[in-house]
Each structure stands twice: as structure tokens, then as C-alpha cells.
Chain A
Amino acid sequence: MGSVTSGKSIPYMLGTDPADPRFVFDLAASADTAFAGYDVSFAAGPRPPAFLIRQTVDSGSFANGNTAFVMNNGSVVDWNTSGGTVSSSGSWQQSSTEVQGWWMLGLMCSSATVSGTITIGSRIQCGFLVSTLDPVSNLFVAPSGDGGSNYSQLFQETAYVNDGVESNSGGDWFCAYVTVPVYRATITAQYEHFDPGASALKKVVAGSVFWGIRLGDV
């Protein structure tokens, strides 16, 4: 007879039970199994949802003041345990069954000059276009655009300068990171260059990566 505790199912004897000579063994075996389970979980390490998308071909060229959606011209999903999906245009769509969560996003972007001559020191920048819903109303809360009096969709516009000296591509490599709370979100990494004094055309180079990892619930 005997019984087990309601939480961890640890066996114990009742005062009305006949003495079971193996009772202490049952208790020891229960502890043995529980400890072995902890071993497995600790050895397994972390498994937070994550994704990593890598651009596989160079983008088309774009002129001063234009925005390029990174991963838009051919990409491969190197990692996706996010539960979400990656569109053919390189956007990541959060799982619709995921509760609102904190995500850390990163973009490592390689860009190069296609034609023309860049102005050394002119600006290039990258950012994350985040479309997310309010978890209570299920309404889209941010109007489009990245300026004006509204909350912006565009997070972490990280600016660098054109040097055109990167050792592999003769362009530039730079990185941006942001942490945002999102719900049913669609997120796209983007790149812009601003070289008002020149007619240089630029491209995003294969090998650039857009990635994210879930940090926890909001």
C-alpha cells in the first residue's frame, strides 16, 4: 500500500500500512530516478528559441537614400528553433502561438560598392523593422514609418561610415543589435546608405546574417 506525494510522487508509508520491507528501497529508488532526471536536464544545456538567416547572394544595387531589406535576394535559414517562419523575402515571422516575449536581434551586414565612388565618411546604417501586435487588443499599435509623432516601427538605426576598405569585399562590415518585446511580430532587417555627394551604387554582400534569440516572457 502506501502512497505518493502529490508533487514529485515520492513514496511514503501510511501508519495503517503493514510494514513493507522494501519501503526504504522504494524511497531510495525514487530519489535515484529524480536525481538522474536532473542530471539529464542540466547536461542538456539551454534551448531557447532562436533563428539565424544568412544571405547567400549579393543583393541588387541601390542608390543613395534607398533602403535594402537584407536577406531579400536569396538566403538560407542556417538555424530555426524559433517556432516561427522565414519568408522568401527574408523576414522572420514570430510564431502565432507564442506569448509576448523579449527577443534579442542582431544583424551583421557586409556591404560593398557596385559602381561609382563613395564619399569616405558618409553614412551607412542598418536597423530592424518591427511590426508587432498589442497582446491584449490584438491590434497593430505602431503606425507605419520611422518618424513623425508616432511610435516608430524602426528600431536601432545604427549608423556607421563608408570607408570601402573591408579586406574581403572592399566594402564595409558592421553590426547592429536590439532587444524588443514582441507579439505575433514580423521583423525585417534593413540597410541604408546616405551618400548625398556621390552617385555610388551599393549592395549587401552574401554572408550577411540576421539572427534572433528569445530571452524570455514579457
Chain B
Amino acid sequence: MSWLGFEWRSRHVVEGVLWLGLYVALSVFPLVLVLLTKPEELAGRSFWTELSVGLGFVGLAMMTLQFALTARFKTIKSPYGSDVVYAFHRVISLVAVFFVILHPLILFVERWETMKSRPITHPWPFWLGTASVLCLVGLVVVSLWRRPLGVHYDGWRRWHAILASMAVAFGVLHALWVGHYLSTPANRWLWLGYTLAFVGLIVYVRLVKPLRELGRPYAVTAVIPQRGDAWTLQLKPIGHGGLRFSPGQFAWITVNDSPFSDREHPFSFSGSSERAPELEFTIKNLGDFTSRVKDIPVGQRVYVDGPFGALSADRHPRAEGFVFIAGGIGITPMMSHLRTMADRGERRPLVLLYGSRDEESITFREELDELQRRLPNLKVVHVLSKPSAAWQGERGFIDREKLERYVPKGLQLEYFICGPDPMMDAVERALQEMGVPAGDYHAERFNLA
């Protein structure tokens, strides 16, 4: 690993630790403020009551912070990649929900005897808290088991946003109504700040961003069928300069006359970043929205929010070569790389290992042949799992043996992987076994739920 590469990675480690520190600080700040302001009228409560209250406050603060994590701020996402931020979001949300559920559970267990003989004296805070917890439970169940429950992606995204907003709103109202630790002005101001930040983030995501996109529409200029039941959408900006992206990045696109629609989907750019402002996205028919791409009329308005993602060779200018490993429609970020590199006259060694089902499902097959002519140091290896008897090339799956056979030796290479989850798991394992340092291979996954 080069010294510069090491420096680049250490900088991101330091940044990561600082982001995590900020997350912890914002989560526990309500408790620190209570300790500093010392509301004396509540002195003398038991350890378990205080722990329960502490968990409730912290859980609520962590839930509020989820809105900042998922608001697609490029400063948070660009160093790590969106899938890393979403992986963190998924686990930290479960931790926050666990804390929130512990809050009433500890109180119930501790006060069971008195609660049995006495009706609930403050029914509104109780019901608000219960509503918040129920929203959270619904949120977790639908997110973890979206597919088995048969919930469509668009519906899930809408309900995810609604339930999360309701959970936080009910939770804040519950805390305000109970009021104990919010009786001091400092604590009230703090929670007013958290609430304003929460409302502000919703306004930013649902109103400010779409308003900004409204002035930057794109139009569909062509819808081109590809092999493998995929379709390429070509877009051009209307009345503005468009955006710049690096190969391998992706954007959220809204195919609608209004950018306020919440039906937006993440897709990798498949075109060359040197051909901006024209954009291309190649989308495989996987059901839902993707099955309707072929019916999108030329001239249709589209809104593009991006670029996002860290899966780009442009972040590794000192690499001595690149290995691209794709499965199925995971070819799109690799196509963006190869087209861009061809436009730039790239001379470093490049290998593409591309897994498909059969000859007919190799998306971009003819163009990949053409790219081998434009890029003299590119080697394309097709690996087919169910080829015809006449197929002369590689068969089976991309495995360690094939990687060892085709990857050039003695070079500092960077590896990019994109495809179905089992394929990515298998390739990452094979690279580990081959002794490739974890920092030298890069993958982004888009299974958000």
C-alpha cells in the first residue's frame, strides 16, 4: 500500500471517528444537560427509574439523528459510500429502538406493584409514548421483513418516512408532556432545538431539495433496449449545465413531471463521465418500477439527485491497474468506468470479469468487444453459468481460480465489485483468501430493505 494511499485512508479513519464521536455527543447531550442543570425536585429517584428515563431520552435523540443520516448530505456520505451509511443507519436504529422499548419496560417492572392497584394518572403521555413505540415496532418489522411481507419498495419508502416521523413526533410530545426533566429552560431549549432540527430536515428533504431540482429538470432523449432484459435511459438537461459525476457513482432519479413525488430510485450512471452533461442509466427489469422503464416516452421529464457513492476508480489515481468484477446488471458502474477510461485514453492494465447467465443475457456484449479495441490494455472475461453447448469461454461462476488466472501479478491493483449479494460475498471471500488487502477492494450494495 502506498504511503499516499495510507495517508488517504488514515484521514478517513480519523474523520470517521470524529463523526461517530459527534453522534455519541449529540445522543447523550440531553443527559449531560440534566446533570449540569440538576433539577433538585427530582432528586432521590431510584437507579432503575433514572436509567429508564436516560434510555428514553437517548433513544429519542438517536431517532432524531437518523433523519440527518438519511438526508443524503454529501459531506457525510462521500468518504464512505452510501451503503456504509445505510448499514450504520440500520444497526444504530435497532439500537435506538431497543433503548426506547427498554424505557417503559424498566418502569413497568419497577413499578408493577403500585401500577396494579392504581390506574394510570397521566393517560395522555402514556398513550403518546405507546403510539411512538408502536410506530417504531411497525417500522422495524416492515424494514427487516419487507420482501416476505410482500411490501413494494415505493410503499415501503413512503411508510418508512411516515412512521419514522410519527414515532419521533409522538416521542417528543410524550417527553414534553411528562415534563420532569424538561422543566428547566436549558433542557426545554435543547429539545426545541432537536425538534426544529428534525422538522427542518423533513422540510429540507421533502421541500427544499425538490424545489432546487424543479429548476434543474432533465428530458428523456432515448430509451434503448439492451440484452438481458435491460433498458438504457438517455437524459439531457433542460436549461441548465447538468451535473458532473465520477464513473461508478449513482443518482436517485424521479421519473415524474414533479420532483415532489416520493417515487425515486437509485441507479448507477452507466455512461462516460466525460460525456456530461448527457447522462445514461441502464436499468434491468426486476419488477416494480423497473418493469415500466421500457414504456417511458421520449421527452418525459426526469429529476436527478446526485451524484453519490464512493465506488470510483477516480479515488485511486495512483493504482497501477484496475480489476472490475460484475454480475448481471452490476455491469453498469463498470461500463461507466470503461467508457470513461476509453474516452480518457487509459493505458493502465484493466480486467473485467463479468458473470452472466447465458450468451443472450450479456448486457453490453457487443460494446464490450468494441471497448477492447479502444482500450488496448483491457481484458474482458465472460463467465456464464448456463451457456449453450457452443460456448467457448469460461463457465460457472467467478471464483478464486478464475481470479488468480486473469488478475495481473506484481501490480498495485484496485478491485471493484458489483452484482447480486451472494456473488459479492463469494468474490470478497475469494479476494480475502488470495491475500488482497481489504482496503484494495470496493463494493457498494443497494439492497436498502
Whether chains A and B associate is: no
Spell out A's residues near B (CB within 8 Å): none
